[in-house]
Structure 1
């Protein structure tokens, strides 16, 4: 039986600084080397330190992540692009017109909008991390 799962998944968000690198790191931790995960943003920004702290709790290190934009993509970058923000979804739809890939939209809250104590902010990032882990597992199943 042929595996219907994509081989290359691209996550996209607004800045490639929180949601999409978090999703790609989670995906790679769950499915590498069978599925390759990467990420881009509409307007690349610096990686949020709370992303690094939250992922590090699970032993995932993204210290070498370099934010990229859609313009940085090479030909045929993915089989599936998953947008996590409305801005990224517009770019994803355009990409599907140019490349042979599918697009999905997973609206994902922006944990950087939460203010308060360090623990309150970390809790918001953890919530997004668990949301993404669940969505990725639901969409792709389990590692074989």
Structure 2
């Protein structure tokens, strides 16, 4: 729903990748902004600013070289939508930190885990191509 994993990935990618890289995130459906996302991004000196969750049809551009999906439903939807397009679709399964119960600190730990997994995936995929090739 473009409320947790993909906004974190979008902000991390914007910081980690060259400014010439176009990065946008959207969900199968738009959800509600998640305050835990704001908290774990702030720990990295990142912010969503005024950005709100958005659905695929709200994207301003519909041409991409690569689509990365983070949840099964998003992956299936992306494959269906790009069936006749020349675009690469990659699935990076990420746990859903909203499924975590417990104390605020326990919940934040789950969100931090997703943030760190996303940083590592972005780094391996885009910044360390030799490491990606070694693990394929």
**Runs of 4+ that moved beyond 4 A:** none
Aligned length: 128
The structure carrying a bigger helix percent of its residues is: 2
Aligned Cα root-mean-square deviation (Å): 1.4
Structure 1 unaligned regions, length at least 5: 1-14
- Structure 2 partner of 1:5: none
> Which residue of 86, 92, 114 maps to 1:100?
86
User: What's the TM-score, normalizing by structure 2?
Assistant: 0.87
Contact 1:76-1:99 within 8 A present in 2 as well: no
Q: Structure 2 regions of 5+ residues with no counterpart?
A: 129-136
CA distance in 1, matches of 2:61, 2:39: 33
Q: Which of the numbers 36, 43, 50 marks the counterpart of 2:36? A: 50
Aligned to 1:21, the other structure's residue is in SS state: helix
Greater strand share, structure number: 1
Q: Is the 8 A contact 1:21 1:65 kept in 2?
A: no
